[in-house]
Chains A and B, each alone.
Chain A
Amino acid sequence: MSQDTLFDKVWDLHKVSSLPGGSDQIFIGLHLIHEVTSPQAFGALKDKNLKVKFPERTVATVDHIVPTDNQSRPFKDNLAEQMIETLEKNCLEHKIKFFNIGSGNQGIVHVVAPELGLTQPGMTIACGDSHTSTHGAFGSIAFGIGTSQVRDVLATQTIAINKLKVRQIWCDKKLSNGVFAKDLVLHIIHKLGVKAGVGFAYEFAGPAIDELSMEERMTICNMSIEGGARCGYINPDDKTFSYIKNKLCAPKSEHWDKALTWWESLKSDENSIYDDVIKLDASKVEPTVTWGITPSQSISINQQIPFLDDLSSNDKLIAKEAYEYMSFKPGQLIKDTPVDVCFIGSCTNGRISDLRVAAKVLKGKKVSKNVKAFAVPGSEKVATEAKQEGLDQIFKDSGFQWREPGCSMCLAMNSDKLIGNQVSASSSNRNFKGRQGSPSGRTLLMSPAMVAAAAVNGKVSDVREFIN
């Protein structure tokens, strides 16, 4: 069992009690809610005649169902309108702070909380969304929960949960030019598989992780769940603290000094004990693209789609499903695969640095005429910043559509969807069957820079040929 890791320290700090049977009651320092997984939780509170215990510890925004073309109310989609109205009503009734469209702070919940300074080291953070692991980039212990647990957090600010084991993923050296955090995390998931993380929290560490910006660290932690780990985190450092400083909700003046002193003490001890340690060489990672229907089915840009015989017996069944669904043949190169749609956005890669790197690839170039390309900023703040830097114009000049913030085609709950068996080059996190809105749609996950390169060439391309 792990000892003296950041995970152990934060867990112990937030432990309220040991529950009968062996799970722990854990206090949740920050609870984030959105329109999809909260209405039934508020409904259950009403049924049980309960109130929200600490309304000031819950913050809401709207992201999954928002249209990205026309956000004027009422939404064209009646169901989407009903969902945002329900959230508005619930927040008002229970005095929960809600960042609505037009507030300047609306956006994807995992983009918004860090940029507001709500996400801080040493906190426990929960949200009814599996990508809550994103917040672990700040040295918080953050995980996704279901609606019944959202109800429990609202009613008690605690949940019942079994303690996770801790696996350290040590990333040596550093990423080479043209290779990004997304490539690294896809590589990690490929190496370990989609279920290796079940029952674990992942601690990402090592020189390659230290080198990453906060936004890149968020990309890494965001996709922990795609490796099966409900929680992923990185020990906080000076980059973490300077990112938080001066954010709207960050501690100010003398409180900042106290916070900093505490945060600086928060990290895994040098001789802490892990349940498992994996080491890898980050300098060997190349631009990576998924070819299948799980995020672990990925290869480097210059590799062939694997043959059945090259795979372990466990991976064969899902590989057969993937060949058929994706219409790929074993041995085929992923490079030059024609794409129909290019999507830049999501809680994985919809931040300002993602838009900057994509814009760098797109500047002075045109999107292929066979491609529908669109960029969806992760939040209103990201959109504003992008406009100030003129990035929106670069996207538009290249032929990209520039949209309003939301989750959009990562999960296609709004009208942004693939049609038929279109192939999408996507900066999002899941390539599951039907994920992007068409039951036969095909998703190739890659970094935003790679999506931009694919958009220009109309086919899967090596972004290093654009930027080196």
Chain B
Amino acid sequence: MKSEFTPPIGKISNINGQCISLLGNDIDTDRIIPARFLKCVNFDSLGESVFEDDRKTLKGKHPFDLEKNKNASILVVNSNFGCGSSREHAPQALIRWGIKAIIGESFADIFYSNCIAIGIPCFTLPKKSIEEIQNYCDNQFLFLEINLKSSLAKSKDLNFNLEIKESSRKMFLSGEWDATSTLLENKNLIEKKFNQLPYIKFNTNFL
């Protein structure tokens, strides 16, 4: 884990880094960051607790504890990664550990939007390609250069056409993935919508 965490800002068009492979389907956000670490009012210290229980169980053999992975930044996972709880603490813990992008077979919806909202692009690849990357990572270092414009991931030996939702790809390239300012630009439309909604008028007992 990096000692100094600098959150990403602005346009994200290239991510270069070493892959770290984590095997398993349906890895839920309770496993990424167990609930006891949610007792906090900021995200600062979450990086060290990422996968805490899984890592303890594997006594140093968890991918996040292997010496060879200590500088890795591209996480490679299987299907339905990040299912369960909506806790943004999960991607916040991953990004603080050093993860800058995730490639997987598939992602849970809320986890995916949380990743986008904090600047972690999530890409998908078919099961076969994921397995190819994971097997490669077992034996040697895999450095990938990801280009968001072309959605290509390149390395010395392997090349992949990554999939990413078009809306997310555009947001990263334009730097608008931090949605607040984009949403605020429509403040007149928001007011108009508020005044049009039927239930605003009859909810006089609303708090």
Contacts and interface: CB of A to CB of B under 8 A. Distances in A.
B197 to A, nearest CB: 7
Interface string B133-176: 00000000000000000000000000000000111111100101
Interface in B67-82: 78-80
B186 interface: yes
Contacts of B108: 195, 198, 228
A294 B31 CA distance: 12
A56 B206 contact: yes
A157 B194 contact: yes
Contacts, number: 236
Interface in A1-57: 13-14, 16-17, 19-23, 25, 27, 29, 36-37, 39-40, 43, 48, 50, 53-54, 56
B38 A228 contact: no
Nearest to B107: A198
Interface string A270-281: 000000000000
A50 B183 CA distance: 13
B39 A251 contact: no
A432 B27 CA distance: 9
A401 B36 CA distance: 23
Nearest to B80: A195
Interface in B11-54: 24-26, 28, 30-31, 34-36, 38-43, 53-54
Contact of A317 (B24, B28, B86, B117): B24
B109 interface: yes
B186 A16 contact: yes
B9 interface: no
A195 B106 contact: yes
A363 interface: no
A457 interface: no
Q: Report, nearest first, the 4 A-B pairs whose CB atoms are least far apart.
A: A148-B117, A21-B170, A146-B88, A146-B114
Interface stretch (A76-84, A211-219, A332-340, A366-374): A76-84
A39 B41 contact: yes
B39 A145 contact: no
Interface stretch (A118-126, A232-240, A390-398, A458-466): A118-126
A403 B7 CA distance: 42
A194 B80 contact: yes
B196 to A, nearest CB: 8
25 contacts: A14-B193, A19-B182, A20-B171, A20-B176, A23-B167, A27-B193, A39-B41, A40-B42, A48-B180, A79-B40, A80-B39, A123-B199, A145-B86, A146-B88, A146-B113, A147-B88, A156-B190, A158-B183, A160-B182, A198-B80, A198-B106, A249-B205, A255-B201, A255-B203, A294-B83
Interface stretch (A172-180, A282-290, A300-308, A434-442): A434-442
Interface residues of B, number: 70
A387 interface: no
Contacts of A249: 203, 205-207
Interface string A340-382: 0000000000000000000000000000000000000000000
A323 to B, nearest CB: 14
B180 A21 contact: no
B204 A255 contact: yes
A262 B87 contact: no
A37 B184 contact: no
B84 A430 contact: yes
A25 B188 CA distance: 13
Given A40-B41, A148-B118, A433 B30 contact: yes
A312 B175 CA distance: 42
Contact of B26 (A128, A248, A318): A318
B167 A22 contact: yes
Contact of A152 (B43, B79, B179, B187): B179
A228 B113 contact: no
Contacts of B43: 40
Contacts of B87: 36-37, 146
Contact of A439 (B57, B84, B91, B171): B57
A321 B84 contact: no
A158 B26 contact: no
A120 B201 CA distance: 13
